[in-house]
Amino acid sequence: MPSKSVVYTYSVKLMWPAMCRNRSVEVLTERPDLVDQMNKFRVKIDNVLRIVCRKHFQIDATYHMGGVRLWFESGQDCYDFIIRQPEFEWEVHPELSVINSVTSQLQTFKIVYTPTGVSID
């Protein structure tokens, strides 16, 4: 029986560490220290996601100046990742993208942080 294909429905962008943000590719070729830090950051994300997620996840390989795009199969995993930011001292861009399984469109919502968790606007 063929295995069920994985659909990554939820996506957030995790910001690079402050000193690595908004660096052009040109700058990065001259700053191997930043590249090294970014690579270590990606490894750390991968390790954390292995701990947090119960279902599949993916770290987008495409380089973005702002941060790393992460994809989650499960909404619960995505929620857990967002609310556990302080534990790992990093910053999620307050925007959640969700693929609509009926229309196949990517819908984007604002993440609003509240004292009891997060809500979506």
Partner 1 sequence: MAMKSAYITVVGNLPIRFDLEQARKIGPVIASANNNKSIVFDYATCNTETNLQDMLNSVSFRESKLLVPEELFKKYVFFDGVTCLPDFPGLKSYDIDPAKCSPQTLAVMLAVYLRQTIVFLLGYDISNPIELTRLKSIMIANPNTKFMYICNPPGTYQLDDLENGFCDTYIKFQELIDRAK
Please report, as residue ranges, which positions from 97 to 116 form the binding site for partner 1 (by CB under 8 A): 98, 100-103, 107, 109
Number of residues that bind partner 1 (CB under 8 A): 18
* H/E element, 33: helix 32-52
Least distance to partner 1 from the beta carbon of 120, Å? 4
d(CA 88, CA 29): 28
Which member of 21, 75, 95, 108 binds partner 1 (CB under 8 A)?
Answer: 75
The amino acid present at 20, given as its one-letter code, is C
Query: Of 27-35, 38-46, 60-68, 96-104, which part binds partner 1 (CB under 8 A)?
Result: 96-104
What's phi and psi for 67, nearest 5 deg? 180, -165
Is the Cβ–Cβ distance between 80 and 91 less than 8 Å?
no
**Residues that bind partner 1 in the complex, under the rule CB under 8 A:** 9-10, 74-76, 78-79, 96, 98, 100-103, 107, 109, 119-121
